[in-house]
Amino acid sequence: MEKLIKKILKEYVDSELNELMASYHYNKNFYIRFTNNEEFIVKKFTKVNNKLDVREVGTYMLSNSEREQIGNTIKKIMSYDLPEDEDFGIEVHRFNIDVERINFYSKDDKYETLRSVLKDEAFTKLYLMDKETQSVGDILFFIVKQNKIITTFFERSFNYPMVKEKRNLDHLITADEVEKYKIN
């Protein structure tokens, strides 16, 4: 009887672990960022004379459609089981910050930001910053290790090529590429 119970429990555990699992750290950060209707801080990075001028210019709230799109992408990613012996960086979403939706701190911040963005986009970039974690970027990433989402963070798009090496990952992929790596 004991062997039968162990066999049944093992089958149950094995069947429940077929999908990507989330760590506590991921759950905490995801909840804070995307289900709590929190505003993100908008940081303006402007290159001036080979120096970087970084300023907080306002706050930004994701639209319901952005939240829904991110949620659907996450559900899709989490429906797959990935190899436990490989580490993944998964690009979940790229943000396109709409300057019209920024709640600027002041008229000066609004004027300077609009002028910078419209005048020379190559030297000015807008990024979101999470108030709690201080993570800054325009791309939402998951780090998956041993088939568990270890963390989620923002990364700036210009750092994209370095994420794989910086985070010691085997693969750097988009959400659309996850299916190629799933375990059947």
Q: How far apart are CA 97 and CA 126, in angstroms?
A: 7
Contact 80, 19 (CB under 8 A): yes
Q: Looking at residue 156, what is its pLDDT? A: 93
User: Nearest 5°: CA angle at 146, between 94 and 72?
Assistant: 35
The answer, yes or no, to whether residue 169 has pLDDT greater than 70, is: yes
Q: Looking at residue 137, what is its pLDDT? A: 95
Confidence of residue 68 (pLDDT cuts 50, 70, 90): confident
- The greatest distance separating any two alpha carbons of the chain, rounded to the nearest whole angstrom, comes to 77
The answer, yes or no, to whether residue 174 has pLDDT greater than 50, is: yes
Contact 55, 138 (CB under 8 A): no
Q: 15-19, 20-24, 44-48, 81-85 — which is least confidently predicted?
A: 15-19
Confidence of residue 71 (pLDDT cuts 50, 70, 90): confident
**pLDDT tens digits for range 40-49:** 999 999 888 8
**pLDDT tens digits for range 106-164:** 999 999 999 888 877 568 899 999 887 888 999 999 899 888 888 888 999 988 889 88
The answer, yes or no, to whether residue 28 has pLDDT greater than 70, is: no
Q: How far apart are CA 157 and CA 76, in angstroms?
A: 23
pTM: 0.78
Neighbours of 143 (CB within 10 A): 21
Q: Looking at residue 16, what is its pLDDT? A: 44
Q: How far apart are CA 28 and CA 137, in angstroms?
A: 19
Q: Looking at residue 158, what is its pLDDT? A: 87
Q: Looking at residue 123, what is its pLDDT? A: 81
The answer, yes or no, to whether residue 171 has pLDDT greater than 60, is: yes
The answer, yes or no, to whether residue 74 has pLDDT greater than 60, is: yes
